[in-house]
Structure 1
Amino acid sequence: MRPRGQPMGWRSGVQAALAMLWPAATAPDEAVPDGAVPESAPAVPTAPLTPYPADRAQAYAQLRLIAAYLAEIEPHSPTPYLLRQAAAWGELPLDALLRTVVKEEGGLARFLALLEVS
């Protein structure tokens, strides 16, 4: 504790406030031998987590898993249906996808001609 009237640096002030509000947060850590893992340590995943799928098939499989998850927790949402449809469309060749999505024959023919797809 500092005597009243003496200035306190910002770091000391923050540490003092933390000690008053959360004494456990400022208490010294219990000694843990080198290389040992404290009992309260979070579990470490066995495989590294990556934000990107390894390949195209895994990407579409992840879309389907996400769709299934969302269908369970948000059955009223259109998102699971859209994700399932996106995964299904992703497996189609371009011309089959366009024939499925574009219903105007003239528009489809112009688009296919532009892409030089027969």
Structure 2
Amino acid sequence: MLRGRAEALRQLAEVAQYFQRTEPHSPVAYLVQRAIKWGHMPLEVWLEDVIKDGATLGHLKETLGIGTDTDTGSGQGS
């Protein structure tokens, strides 16, 4: 039984090592390592890592209300 996020990520690292050792030609190890990296990222940083198109990233952040200067709630400009 897993006892927390850190333990789950450690176990994923063991899984990645297994696939690197036993199936070095397989993309599984690389994908698991990427999932571990993403598991340590806050949402905004993860979005920046995954979405390379600036316009798409900007629209998504605006929709989610994250990472913008206009989400401070100052009420100016209305």
Q: TM-score range by the shorter chain?
A: 0.7 to 0.9
Which structure has the greater CA radius of gyration? 1
1:91 aligned onto 2:40: yes
- Structure 1 residue 113: Cα displacement: 1.0
Higher relative contact order (CA 8 A, sep 6+): 2
Counting aligned pairs with the same residue, the percent is 36
Deviation above 4 Å: which 4+ runs of structure 1? none
TM-score (norm 2): 0.82
Aligned residues: 67
- Structure 1 residue 94: Cα displacement: 0.6
Can you give the 5+ residue segments of structure 1 that lack an aligned partner in the other structure?
1-49
Partner of 1:114: 63
Can you give the 5+ residue segments of structure 2 that lack an aligned partner in the other structure?
68-78
Counterpart of 2:48, as a letter, is R
CA distance in 2, matches of 1:115, 1:58: 30
CA distances 1:14-56 after superposition (whole Å, capped 9, x unpaired): xxxxxxxxxxxxxxxxxxxxxxxxxxxxxxxxxxxx3xx2101
CA distance in 2, matches of 1:64, 1:108: 29
Higher helix proportion: 2
